């Protein structure tokens, strides 16, 4: 068994028997991994501090196995706890949403260092003064781009013609559709020009610049609706954290 070491952000934890945990990380060097850490629960547990709390950044040492997807984790040391997130229910909820979304659209051992950096940058941004909603929207847009699921906005997603002001957003076709193609999807939604511009700007700008962009409340609400429905269409299941976000925002 080869021993490996990498940094990772904890996406999920599950109790295993009386003393162990199954931990799921998104890591810098290996993508999403799952492993068992033993002896960390119960009366004789070796306490790991905040390393076993979700969205903590840890340094993880694990042994790869020749068979199976679950590794043996021998060491898990806390690097960053992101404490400011934990002081706000809203920020905790959005951090949990980002983790659940990433977990739902990625598979084990599919390395993508850009996705890891996006996740790390998003947790750091949530620890600051940026709007938690805006951080979530930026994460969604950039994740779609990294996974090859970015909506088509420059041309008609159905026929490839130039887009006109009458264009609408189609979840079925994966982007804007021109007026000639509206019959192909009668459920296509009208979309504000500001919403399209925000998505295009976030997609093409460095992360730090994208984080500073502000939008009107009307555009913000439309972004939330369209991006969530678009992600629901691709994820094919409703995320549990979306329901929680809906509750705390009432």
Helix (H) or strand (E) holding 127, with range, is: none
- What pLDDT is attached to residue 43? 47
- Pick the closest to residue 123 from 99, 150, 89 (CA basis): 99
Model pTM above 0.75? yes
Burial degree of 165 (CB within 10 A; 0-12, 13-18, 19+): exposed
Low-confidence residues of the chain: pLDDT under 50 = 43
| Percent with pLDDT over 70 in the chain | 95
- What pLDDT is attached to residue 17? 81
Domains present along the chain, CATH in parentheses? 3-145 (2.40.50.140)
- What pLDDT is attached to residue 20? 86
């Amino acid at each position: 068994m080869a021993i490996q070491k990498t940094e990772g952000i904890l996406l999920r934890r599950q109790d295993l028997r009386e003393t162990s945990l199954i931990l799921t990380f998104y890591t810098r060097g290996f993508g999403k991994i799952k492993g068992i850490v033993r002896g960390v629960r119960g009366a004789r547990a070796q306490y790991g501090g905040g390393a076993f709390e979700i969205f903590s950044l840890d340094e993880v040492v694990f042994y790869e196995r020749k068979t199976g997807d679950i590794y043996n984790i021998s060491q898990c040391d806390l690097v960053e706890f992101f404490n400011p997130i934990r002081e706000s229910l809203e920020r905790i909820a959005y951090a949990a949403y980002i983790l659940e979304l990433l977990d739902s659209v990625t598979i084990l051992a599919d390395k993508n260092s850009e996705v890891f950096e996006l996740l790390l940058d998003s947790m750091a941004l949530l620890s600051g003064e940026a709007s938690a909603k805006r951080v979530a929207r930026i994460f969604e847009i950039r994740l779609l781009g990294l996974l090859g699921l970015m909506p088509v906005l420059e041309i008609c997603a159905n026929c490839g013609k130039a887009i006109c002001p009458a264009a609408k957003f189609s979840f079925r076709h994966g982007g804007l559709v021109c007026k000639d193609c509206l019959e192909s999807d009668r459920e296509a939604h009208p979309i504000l020009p500001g919403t399209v511009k925000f998505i295009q700007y976030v997609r093409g700008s460095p992360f730090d610049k994208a984080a500073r962009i502000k939008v009107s409340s009307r555009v913000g609400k439309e972004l939330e609706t369209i991006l969530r429905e678009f992600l629901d269409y691709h994820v094919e299941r409703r995320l549990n954290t979306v329901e929680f976000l809906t509750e705390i925002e009432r």
